[in-house]
Amino acid sequence: MVQTDMYEGMLAETVTMQGANNETINAYFARPLGPGPFPAMVIIHHMPGWDEWYREATRRFAHHGYAALSPDLYFRAGHGTPEDVAAKVRADGGVADDQAVGDIAGAMHTLRSLPYINGKVGVFGTCSGGRHAFLAACRVQGFDAVVDCWGGGVVMAPEDLTPQRPVSPIEYTADLTCPILGIFGDDDHSPTPEQVNQHEAELLKHGKTYEFHRYPDAGHGFFYYHRPSYRQAQAVDGWQKIFAFLEKYLQ
């Protein structure tokens, strides 16, 4: 917790890192100044892209004491405004799950290579990023906590599977090796409350450590202050839940 008489500083900048297939991609990196050791977070952007909200979220984690790295999962789609790039990815049916998992694994390994990390790395994402965060935490060893905020498509019907998304992420639940925090709105359509129930039942079935928090009068993306979906009280509580969960497992 910041005190008014303490020194505070942060470094935030664009960097490059090795992602899936050892390809170089861009990432946004923010960390507190000082020797550390700091816990680390991989921050996975949402469907609307590697945008301003995600830069702010990355800096928010740094403000709370984390070395935070947010890879551009859309790097290979070309460059332009985040919206234009995200629109291209949307038209292409999203990025392939294998590629996203490879990029997230690369971000985790990049963080683990830094000399000022405390040895703990979590992963956070919203929307498609919540789904990607869960998928990566199941398929990659090395995460100590995962935060899934309203990740749509964790529970997929067989007819929705595609070459890019060939396996419903819930099928990987048995492989999850770290605690998971889920933040969901009861009015969301993706994931629906029923899909969240299925996800929770699967975690329970496999004996996983989890916390699911469901918010009334909140739909998809209720943290996004620039969208009509924003719900102030629920967002404030959700952020508090996130930082309490991470303090428990990463500090």
Partner 1 sequence: MCTMIVEKIKIDGSGKSREGWFSLEQANVSYDHPFNAPLEHALNIDFVNETQGPGARVAVELSAEAARALVETIQAVLDRAEKGGHIV
Give the separation between CA 223 and CA 192, rounded to whole angstroms: 17
Does residue 219 touch partner 1 according to CB under 8 A? yes
Residue 8 within binding range of partner 1, rule CB under 8 A: no
Q: Which is nearer to partner 1, 6 or 91 (CB)?
A: 91
Q: Minimal distance in Å, beta carbon 222 to partner 1?
A: 11
Distance CA 198, CA 32 (A): 38
User: Crossing angle for the helix pair 97-112 and 128-139, nearest 10 degrees?
Assistant: 70
Q: Quick one: which segment of 14-22, 56-64, 103-111, 224-232 binds partner 1 (CB under 8 A)? A: 224-232
Using the rule CB under 8 A, is 84 a contact of partner 1?
yes
The answer to the question of residue 234 lying near partner 1 (CB under 8 A) is no
Nearer to partner 1, 94 or 102 (CB): 94
Distance from C-alpha of 82 to C-alpha of 73, rounded to nearest angstrom:
11
**Cα–Cα distances in angstroms (integers) from residue 142 to residues 124, 178, 207, in the given order:** 14, 9, 19
Question: How far apart, in Å, are the Cα atoms of 176 and each of 180, 193, 207?
Answer: 9, 21, 10
Among residues 20, 41, 57, 85, which is the contact residue for partner 1, using CB under 8 A? Answer: 85
Quote the least distance from Cβ 187 to partner 1, whole Å.
Answer: 9
Residues 143-182 that bind partner 1 (CB under 8 A): 152-153, 160, 162, 165
* Token pair of 89 as six digits: 């990815």
The Cα–Cα gap between 1 and 143 comes to 24
Q: What Rg value do the Cα atoms of the chain yield, rounded?
A: 17
Taking a C-beta distance cutoff of 8 angstroms, is the pair 185, 214 a contact?
Answer: yes
Out of 43, 77, 147, 149, which residue is the one contacting partner 1 (CB under 8 A)? 77
Binding of residue 80 to partner 1 (CB under 8 A): yes
Nearer to partner 1 among residue 2 and residue 91 (C-beta): 91
Q: Contacts with partner 1: how many residues (CB under 8 A)?
A: 34
Using the rule CB under 8 A, give the single segment among 2-10, 110-118, 219-227, 239-247 that binds partner 1. Answer: 219-227
Task: Tabulate helix, strand, coil % of the chain (nearest 5).
Answer: 40, 25, 35
Could you list the residues that contact partner 1 (CB under 8 A)?
A: 47-48, 77-81, 83-91, 93-95, 127-128, 152-153, 160, 162, 165, 189-190, 219-221, 227-229
